[in-house]
């Protein structure tokens, strides 16, 4: 399998011009904005988080990876929802550490609160709805059991 991958990698030529920069900066003048994005994902065993910065300029949009972290869940079976919650909390910690290192923390903190209030974090809302549903089912079972 390793040989097949190496053969495909060498033949494809797609990755010849790829490079990963160790620093980030806007390559264009006339900057219109900087956005910091945190992506989190979870699958059966691993969960990951990545923090990216996006420079929007007049002529180009540039995206750079600032930090990424992945973890493997414990041996004990865990639900996908719990893994997603772990990924979100890990992503939040990773984002805070990146912002602290860049000394953007105070500026961004006010913006984050504004955006979260507007968007009301869909993932958290979904989790809360599922918990409410299970709590309602649990209470309904107790009521039916008492009758």
Mean pLDDT in order along the chain per 10 residues (147 residues): 81 70 62 79 83 80 83 78 82 85 70 54 65 60 50
* pTM > 0.75: no
Does domain 25-102 fall under CATH 2.40.50? My reply is: no
Task: Tell me how far apart the alpha carbons of residues 120 and 123 are, in angstroms, rounded to a whole number.
Answer: 9
What pLDDT is attached to residue 67? 86
pLDDT at 147: 46
Question: How many alpha carbons fall within 13 Å on the CB side of residue 100?
Answer: 6
Residues of the chain with CATH 3.10.20: 25-102
- Cα within 13 Å of Cα(69), Cβ side: 16
Work out the angle at residue 122's Cα, subtended by the Cα atoms of residues 128 and 102, and round it to the nearest 5 degrees: 115
Whole-number pLDDT of residue 28: 56
> Given this model, what pLDDT does residue 60 score?
75
């Amino acid at each position: 399998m390793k040989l097949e991958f190496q053969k495909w990698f060498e033949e494809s030529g797609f990755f010849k011009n790829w490079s990963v920069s160790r620093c980030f900066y806007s390559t264009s003048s006339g900057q219109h904005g900087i956005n910091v994005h945190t992506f989190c994902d979870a699958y059966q065993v691993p969960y990951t988080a990545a923090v990216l910065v996006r420079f929007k300029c007049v002529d180009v949009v540039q995206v750079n990876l600032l930090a990424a972290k992945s973890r493997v869940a414990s041996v004990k079976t865990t639900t996908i929802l719990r893994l997603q919650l772990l990924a979100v909390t890990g992503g939040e910690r990773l984002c805070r550490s990146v912002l602290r290192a860049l000394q953007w923390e105070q500026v961004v903190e006010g913006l984050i609160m504004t955006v979260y209030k507007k968007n009301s974090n869909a993932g958290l809302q979904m989790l809360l709805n599922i918990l409410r549903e299970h709590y309602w089912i649990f209470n309904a079972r107790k009521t039916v059991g008492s009758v």
